[in-house]
Amino acid sequence: MRKIMLLNAKGGCGKSTIATNLASYYAMLGKSVVLADFDRQGSSTEWLEARPQDRPAIRGLVAWRDPVRVARSTDYVIMDVPAGAHGPVLTALVRRAHTLIVPVLPSPTDIRAAAHFIHELLLVGKIVRDESRLAVIANRVHENSAIQNSMEHVLNSMSISYSTLNTQIYHNLERFLSRLKIPFVATLRESNNYLVADARGLGIFDLNSSQAHRDIEQWQPMLKWLESKRSIPDPVD
C-alpha cells in the first residue's frame, strides 16, 4: 500500500487539486484508491461527491472526523492535509505517509513560507531517518508568452543578462530547493483545465487528451518520480 500526502502550512497552494488529480490518475490505471480528506473545509470530499458514477471508483474518507481505516487491498492512499499544521499535529500527520509532496506557489511570499515549513518538516525525525520522502512541486505557474521567451533567448545569446519576472521567481524557487537538497519534481502551470475538471469531479487525466495535453505532459516528471525508488522509503508497509 502506497501512502502519499499533500501538505503545506500555507493555504491556497493547490493541495486539494493535486490530491484529487493524483487519485483520479491512479484510479484510471485500475488501482484501488482511497482519498482521505483531513481538511475540515472538505474540498476533496466535495470533489468526490461530484464525481460521475461512470468514472473509475475512488473511495473517500472524511479523515478529520472518522477513524482512518483502509483495507489492506488498497493500492494508494492519497491524503489531503489542512493548512496550518504544526508541532505535534504535523508530526502525527507525517507519520501516516510514505511520501510527502509540498506544492508551492512561485511567489516570494509563498517561497518564504515554504522555507519555514520545510525546515519544520526536516526537524521531524521521521524524514531524517528516511522513513518518508519529501519533494516539492511548483504549482499554478504563470507561463511566459512566446514573445517573452524569444526576448530572453535573443538577449541572453548576446551575453545580455535578462529574464522576465516569471523566470526570476522560478529560478529563486529552484535555488531555494537546491540549497536544501530537496527534489523539485514538477512545474504545473496555471490552467483553466483544472477548474473545468474540478467542477465535474474529474481530474485532468479524465479530460479529452487533446484538450489537456499540455497539462498532462507537465505531470509526467512527478509521476515518474513517484514510481521511482527515490520516492519510496524502505521498507514500505
pLDDT in tens, 63-122: 999 999 999 999 999 999 988 888 888 888 888 999 999 998 877 788 878 888 888 888
As a whole number of angstroms, the distance between CA 73 and CA 76 comes to 9
Confidence of residue 167 (pLDDT cuts 50, 70, 90): low
| Structural domains in the chain (count) | 1
Q: For all residues of the chain together, what is the average pLDDT? A: 83
As a whole number of angstroms, the distance between CA 47 and CA 50 comes to 5
Q: What would the mean pLDDT of 6-29 be, rounded to a whole number?
A: 92
Least confident of 1-10, 75-84, 133-142, 201-210: 133-142
Structural domain contains residue 211: yes
Structural domain contains residue 62: yes
Give the pLDDT of residue 164.
Answer: 46
Q: CATH code at 202?
A: 3.40.50.300
Structural domain contains residue 150: no
Range of the domain at 105: 2-142+186-231
Structural domain contains residue 151: no
Q: Provide the grid cell at 133.
A: 520522502
Question: Is 60 exceeded by the pLDDT of residue 11?
Answer: yes
Question: Is 80 exceeded by the pLDDT of residue 162?
Answer: no
Q: Listing from the earlier edge strand, what are the strands of the sheet with 133-141?
A: 59-61, 33-37, 76-80, 2-6, 99-104, 133-141, 184-189
